A and B are shown apart, each in its own frame.
Chain A
Amino acid sequence: MRALKTVILSAAVALGLGGSALASEGVKLPTQSWGHSGVFGTIDKASAQRGFQIYKEVCSACHSMKLVPIRTLTGIGFKDDELKALAATYEVQAGPNDNGEMFMRPGIPADRFPSPFANDNAARASNNGALPPDLSLVAKARVGGEDYLYAFLTGFEDSAPEGVNLMPGMNYNKYFPGHQVGMPNILQPDGVQYADGTKATVEQQAKDIATFLTFVAEPKLDERKQMGVKVILFLIVLAGLMYATKRQMWAKLH
Chain B
Amino acid sequence: MAQAHASNFKNPVVKWIDSRLPIFTMLHHEYNEYPMPKNVNYLWAFGAIAGIMLVIMIATGLVLAMQYAANTAIAFDSVERIMRDVNYGWLLRYVHANGASFFFIAVYLHMFRGLYYGSYKAPREILWIIGVVIFLLMMATAFMGYVLPWGQMSFWGATVITNLFSAFPIVGDPIVTWLWGGFSVDNPTLNRFFALHFLLPFVILGVVILHTAALHICGSNNPLGIDPKGPQDTVPFNPYITVKDLFAVVVFLIVYAIFVFFMPNYMGHPDNYIPANPLVTPAHIVPEWYFLPFYAILRAIPDKLGGVLAMFGAIAVLVVLPWLDTSKVRSCKFRPIYRQFFWVLALDALVLGYAGAMPAEGHWLLIARIGTAYYFFHFLILLPVLGKLERPSPMPASISEPVLKGGGRVAAGAHAKPMEKA
Which A residues contact B (CB, under 8 angstroms)? 1, 4-5, 7-8, 11-12, 15, 18-20, 22-23, 25, 39, 67-69, 72, 133, 136-137, 140-143, 145, 177, 217, 219-220, 224-225, 227-229, 231-232, 235-236, 238-239, 242-251, 253-254
Least CB separation from B280: chain A residue: A131
Known: A220-B84, A246-B246; 17 extra A-B contacts, CB below 8 A, are A5-B343, A8-B346, A15-B353, A22-B286, A23-B269, A23-B357, A69-B85, A72-B84, A137-B274, A141-B274, A225-B262, A228-B258, A228-B262, A232-B254, A242-B243, A251-B417, A254-B407
A145 to B80, CA, bound (A): 18
- In the complex, chain A residues whose CB is within 8 Å of the CB of B235: 253
State whether B258 touches A8 (Cβ < 8 A): no
Least CB separation from A247: chain B residue: B417
> Can you list 29 contacts pairing A with B, beta carbon distance less than 8 Å?
A1-B339, A4-B340, A8-B343, A8-B347, A15-B353, A15-B354, A18-B354, A19-B266, A39-B262, A67-B84, A69-B84, A69-B85, A133-B274, A140-B273, A141-B271, A141-B273, A219-B84, A224-B91, A224-B261, A231-B257, A242-B246, A242-B250, A244-B420, A245-B243, A249-B243, A250-B240, A251-B417, A253-B240, A254-B407
Least CB separation from A142: chain B residue: B270
Instruction: List the count of A-B residue pairs having beta carbons below 8 Å apart.
Output: 123
8 Å CB contact of A20 from B247, B266, B343, B407:
B266
Minimum distance in angstroms from A228 CB to a CB of chain B: 2
CB-CB nearest 7 A-B residue pairs: A228-B261, A141-B273, A242-B247, A251-B414, A239-B250, A137-B273, A140-B273
- In the complex, chain B residues whose CB is within 8 Å of the CB of A250: 240, 244
Assuming the A-B contacts A15-B354, A232-B254, are A23 and B414 also in contact, with contact meaning beta carbons closer than 8 angstroms in the complex? no
State whether A12 touches B262 (Cβ < 8 A): no
Proximity bits, B106-137, A CB within 8 Å = 1, else 0? 00000000000000000000000000000000
Chain B residues numbered 223-281 whose CB sits less than 8 Å from any CB in chain A: 235, 239-240, 243-244, 246-247, 250-251, 253-254, 257-258, 260-262, 264-267, 269-271, 273-274
Least CB separation from B410: chain A residue: A254
Least CB separation from A238: chain B residue: B250
Minimum distance in angstroms from B323 CB to a CB of chain A: 27
State whether A67 touches B250 (Cβ < 8 A): no
- In the complex, chain B residues whose CB is within 8 Å of the CB of A20: 266
Least CB separation from A227: chain B residue: B261
Assuming the A-B contacts A22-B357, A141-B271, are A4 and B343 also in contact, with contact meaning beta carbons closer than 8 angstroms in the complex? yes
